[in-house]
A and B are shown apart, each in its own frame.
Chain A
Amino acid sequence: MPLALFAEQVLNGLQFGVMLFLMSAGLTLVFGVMGLINLAHGSLYMIGGFICAAVAAFTGSFLLGLGAALAGAAAAGVLVETLVIRRLYARDHLDQVLATFALILIFSEGTRWVFGSFPLFLDVPDLLSGPVSLPLGIQYPAYRLMIIVVGLLVALGLYLLITRTRLGIRIRAGESDREMIAALGVDIAWLYTIVFALGAALAGLAGALVGAIQSVQIGMGEPVLILAFVVIVIGGIGSVKGALIGAILVGMTDTLGRFLLPQFFATFMENTSATTIGSSLASMLIYILMAGVLIFKPQGLFGGAS
């Protein structure tokens, strides 16, 4: 197999992983700080995509759309947090699952009500359309490179936020001891709203970035949500570092599995069945990876000790 093709696939895996990281980071942060399991995180991703598409169509500027997506998803996050989510922190996971499942129904059909049943148009900005040339003769879409860069910048930003800022100190304190930081006079309700909005904004950013190369449509968040769950289970719930490593692991496994498994089966099988069986197995690969990790580390790679 040509080295360039393999290298390009590795790059694709990295890009997919980085995109998963944007989704997982918010999810894992919200879980780590508030102990909330949020199924509606995928809906915030969808909202980001729709707002970006609508604003970009109206103003003609992708960048404005992106900004609006960030702000809009964060605003939706604040709204949902204050109206619904904050009543759920003290509840068990069961209530959280059910309430956020209900939110999915409301968001999905609400979005359809506002934007209609057809997918929206959203394209990459002209500046980033088309490929760039990389070493080894790889032609790689400029926009995807940009996603990798943005994702890694967000990872760096989150790292700095958590380790270097007052907000970060409070977030870390919130993870370890909720009563303690309340006793120290930190307005915990406000902190929770900010963290939730931050997670929502990251999901919205992911939805907008990805919407430009995929499709902006109802239900676009659900497959990503489930992948994000796999990511944070592998990485360890609550750990942003775990989310980054888990996301890249899942991105690589999925991309390379889809690419290599059918070829592997084709070495000893007839072509059509090799591709069907290979891709059937490839679709299960990340779950097998997850099961493997759990056998050795039930709390994920970077989860707290049990």
Chain B
Amino acid sequence: MIKETDLNTAIWLLFLGVPLAAWQMGEIYTITLATKICVLALAGVGLNIALGLGGMVSLGHAAFFGIGGYAMGILASHAQSYAPIMETPFLIEGTKSMPVIWVLAIIMSGIAALAIGALSLRTNGAYFIMITLAFGQMIYFFAISWPAYGGEDGLSIYVRNDFPGLNTLVPIQFFALCFAILTAVIFLSSRLEHSRFGMALQATRQNETRTQAVGLTPYKIRLIAFVISGMICGLAGAVSADLNRFVSPTMLSWHTSGEIMIFVILGGTGRLFAPLVGAAIYIMLEHFLGGVSDYWQIFLGLLLLMVVLFAPGGVIGLLTKREAAHD
């Protein structure tokens, strides 16, 4: 059977190669699709830390994804209209600089994850799933009804934000940027997985009593992981908003949470490259099945059901035949 590390390398090369080939052939839309996959995979990598390593089944990660998106939307819209976000007690101006936006998106989603996590992690199991779902919906309804930033209409940013040295409106350049971020974050999450913290997180998933007995507090470990996970989703949200040049409450809806979770599970929960593989399969299915039938979501549903029932290790699990990291 294929070794997982070899498979990962192959996947990585494929994701670099296809858009480059498409660029050569002038297939611009293929690059856009690949960029979308990268961005959604990034959110999946974030969720995978909570879900795969930490065993926290969160149905509320769309909240962090959306908050990242809105961080971008709000900063960029103020920069476009030259109206400061606030003047008292101190002046905050909007910005069109991606790095600055990313930092703020990460901070804002991290704060939200801290608040939601601190409450939700007091519970576990099914309670946790439902509570994260409910908090996500709370933020969703708030975003729809709060008129300041477009409500349900969302916010349009007519031009992509700036990144030093790049023309982000050129699809292949923006793809390269997203791919670089994804690669960096996957690398970071691999370091995290094997670090002291990663060991504590995985041990906590496997046996909470053991964690307590060695003198560590599971709640704190989970909360830190939840915040890191939320921050990555926030970054993904900001980049995704830039890809679409648009943010809206849809980013916050529980269907988005479900989809991010599907990416992770389709690929194989807890595996490093699962989100990338899962997102790629999902987006391609959406792309091709949509042309076959108006009722294509039935087939998507059936396929998902098959994966859950018969291939619990996801696609990477099928290919490597290593037993699921999570059971």
Contact = CB atoms under 8 A, between A and B. Distances in A.
Direct contact of A and B (CB under 8 A): yes
Interface of A: 31, 35, 37, 84, 87-88, 91-95, 97-99, 101-106, 108-110, 112-113, 226, 229-230, 232-233, 237, 276, 279-280, 283-284, 287-288, 290-291, 294-295, 298-300, 303
Nearest to A284: B138
A235 B135 CA distance: 17
Nearest to A106: B301
Contact of A97 (B127, B145, B261): B261
B308 interface: yes
A95 to B, nearest CB: 5
For chain B, give the interface size range: 35 or more
Contacts of B59: 97
A92 B57 CA distance: 10
Interface stretch (B21-29, B118-126, B159-167, B240-248): B118-126
B301 A104 contact: yes
Contacts of A290: 131, 134
B261 A98 contact: yes
B133 A103 contact: no
Interface of B: 51, 57, 59, 119, 122-123, 125-127, 129-131, 133-135, 137-138, 141-142, 145-147, 254, 258, 261-262, 265, 269, 295-298, 300-302, 304-305, 308-309, 312, 326-327
24 contacts: A31-B126, A37-B129, A84-B305, A91-B308, A93-B125, A94-B51, A94-B57, A94-B265, A101-B261, A101-B304, A102-B302, A102-B305, A105-B297, A106-B301, A110-B298, A279-B145, A284-B138, A287-B137, A287-B138, A291-B119, A291-B135, A294-B122, A295-B122, A303-B127
B289 to A, nearest CB: 11
Contacts of A303: 127
Given A99-B309, A284-B142, A233 B134 contact: yes
- Binding site secondary structure of chain A: helix
B126 A276 contact: no
B148 to A, nearest CB: 10
Contacts of A103: 301, 305
A105 B133 contact: no
A113 B262 CA distance: 24
The 9 closest A-B pairs by CB, nearest first: A105-B301, A287-B138, A102-B304, A106-B301, A280-B145, A229-B130, A283-B141, A102-B301, A99-B308
